[in-house]
Amino acid sequence: MKALTPKEIVKELDRFVIGQDKAKRSVAIALRNRWRRQQADERIRNEILPNNIIMIGPTGVGKTEIARRLAALAQSPFIKVEATKFTEVGYVGRDVESIVRDLTYMAVDMVEKEQEERVRQRAEELADERLMDLLFPVESKEKLDEEEHERINKTRDRLRAMYEEGKFEERYVEIDAPVKKPNISGISVLGPGDGGLGGDMMDNPGEFINEAMSSLLGKKKTKKQKMKVPEARKILVEEESQKLIDRNKVIEEAMDRVQHHGIVFVDEIDKIAISSEGKGGADVSRQGVQRDLLPIVEGSTVKTRYGFVKTDHILFIASGAFNVSKPSDLIPELQGRFPIRVELDSLTTEDFVNILTHPQNALIKQYQALLHSEDVDLVFEKAAIREIAQKATDVNDKTENIGARRLHTIMTQILDDIMYNAPDDRKKIVITPENVRESLESIVTDDDLSRYIL
């Protein structure tokens, strides 16, 4: 993993996020500072405070997008949580420590996937070897003389060539395969407490205990099953790659990654800040959540199913619109832990034009890719793009300002017929400003309709 310099980080972010230069700069510095802190002399390292950030800005201007892209380019485990989803310790609801646990599980998943990718080719070779043996069992070779040996090898080479051409994909083989079980692993992360097996246990106690026992004994339930070659290949590749991957190393690497590279994005932080007027019951509870958040932001140790995770170097990025409350309404200790404040700008029509066209995942590129699958060339005239951007601005002004999200709804509306009718006899579709106006006309002029459709 290469540590990027702030300038490199901003350059990468520029590929996805338009404008918001201040915010990009701040997150780039924060990310780099974490790395710098980790390089610092041990005696001073723990004295250096982390660079947690609060991003302040209206909805749909790129706050989450910046954080998400930052995490992706740093190859960091990343989790986004809503501050309002948490309740104080002792109340029913999610406790804040689950953030760190979920982040850890995500890191394990991430490292596991990387390792799988790394051994994939070898695992595929091994699986193919096993499939060949299943399709064409070799009898004991001991009694064979050299001539026979050679003959068998030749046959096998020919069969292998046919196998590689996919000639046996329709054949059935019998393998020991894991017994299919609904949603055991899916639910377990969501349950209460560490590992949260609550959900399974309540649904089906017998099943649960069986599963727990066999995983304690280190074996999965398997059964001999007949299946077609492609399905068997999937299972065998999985099996071989599990054998090639060192599970302890995966966990070790994941623990390191979560502690040194983890990023937690706390959305809607403004909703747990209390404006100076309110001091009611709900406010007390919000303040409770802030108090609970404090230790993990300050640096504490959280128990997870893979061991203890220190949160000292996890980067926290909070975000909120702060329409009603202000960052200074947060409890002082928490404010102190988010020393960097950065405001994001509202997006202009010009920004919308750029958002539609420039980012790697720009909406126009997305639609073009979709239609490309049907050999249809979708072209937007320059003026049409400007018209879409203008309409987005108009509707945002007239109804509710949802920022760049407006572009999604408008594009859906404009391209609705085209997406429905394709493929037709047209190989090239050009969107003109008139097309844009026409498809939006009846809606944009009617405020109520706009509210529902755009």
Ligand X SMILES: Nc1ncnc2c1ncn2[C@@H]1O[C@H](COP(=O)(O)OP(=O)(O)OP(=O)(O)O)[C@@H](O)[C@H]1O
Residues that bind ligand X (CB under 6 A): 17-20, 59-65, 267, 321, 355, 359, 403-405
* DSSP string computed for 415-441: HHHHHHH-SSS-SEEEE-HHHHHHHHH
Nearest to 188 by CA among 167, 172, 202: 202
Contacted by 355, from ligand X, Mg ion, none: CB < 5 to 8 Å by type: ligand X
Residue number, 34 or 63, with CB nearest to ligand X: 63
Residue number, 405 or 437, with CB nearest to ligand X: 405
Considering the complex, what minimum distance in angstroms separates the CB of residue 54 from ligand X? 13
Q: Residues 3, 14, 25, 64: which binds Mg ion (CB under 5 A)?
A: 64
Cα separation, 77 vs 314, in Å, equals 10
Contacted by 50, from Mg ion, ligand X, none: CB < 5 to 8 Å by type: none
Residue number, 18 or 353, with CB nearest to ligand X: 18
Contacted by 204, from ligand X, Mg ion, none: CB < 5 to 8 Å by type: none
Contacted by 59, from Mg ion, ligand X, none: CB < 5 to 8 Å by type: ligand X
Per-residue tokens: 21: 């230069």
Strand-pairing partners, residue 390, are none
Residue number, 59 or 285, with CB nearest to ligand X: 59
Contacted by 18, from Mg ion, ligand X, none: CB < 5 to 8 Å by type: ligand X
Residue number, 271 or 305, with CB nearest to ligand X: 271
Nearest to 386 by CA among 438, 434, 447: 434
Considering the complex, what minimum distance in angstroms separates the CB of residue 403 from ligand X? 6
The runs of H, that is alpha helices, within 165-274 are 184-188, 198-203, 205-216, 229-244, 247-261
Q: Length of the chain, please?
A: 454
Strand-pairing partners, residue 108, are none
Residue 443 neighbours by CB under 8 Å, 6+ apart: 413, 449, 450, 453, 454
* DSSP string computed for 374-416: TT-EEEE-HHHHHHHHHHHHHHHHHS---TTHHHHHHHHHHHH
Q: Which stretch binds Mg ion (CB under 5 A): 59-67, 109-117, 143-151, 223-231?
A: 59-67
Q: Which stretch binds Mg ion (CB under 5 A): 18-26, 60-68, 96-104, 128-136?
A: 60-68
Contacted by 405, from Mg ion, ligand X, none: CB < 5 to 8 Å by type: ligand X
Residue number, 21 or 438, with CB nearest to ligand X: 21
Residue 300 neighbours by CB under 8 Å, 6+ apart: 310, 311
Considering the complex, what minimum distance in angstroms separates the CB of residue 278 from Mg ion? 24
Residues 355, 356, 361, 363: what is their CA dihedral angle, to the nearest 10 degrees?
140
Tell how far CA 454 is from the center of its chain. Answer: 27
Contacted by 415, from Mg ion, ligand X, none: CB < 5 to 8 Å by type: none
Q: What are phi and psi of 56, to 5 degrees?
A: -115, 130
Q: Which stretch binds Mg ion (CB under 5 A): 57-65, 95-103, 222-230, 299-307?
A: 57-65
Considering the complex, what minimum distance in angstroms separates the CB of residue 67 from ligand X? 8
* Size of site (CB under 5 A) for Mg ion: 2
Residue number, 208 or 322, with CB nearest to ligand X: 322
Residue number, 64 or 242, with CB nearest to ligand X: 64
Residue number, 50 or 403, with CB nearest to ligand X: 403
Strand-pairing partners, residue 264, are 79, 316
Contacted by 199, from ligand X, Mg ion, none: CB < 5 to 8 Å by type: none
Cα 304 to Cα 93, 95, 155, 184, 389: the distances in Å are 18, 13, 54, 19, 47
CA atoms within 13 A on the CB side of 45: 13
Residue 84 touching Mg ion (CB under 5 A): no
Per-residue tokens: 293: 């958040």
Contacted by 404, from ligand X, Mg ion, none: CB < 5 to 8 Å by type: ligand X
Per-residue tokens: 247: 């599970």
Residues that bind Mg ion (CB under 5 A): 63-64
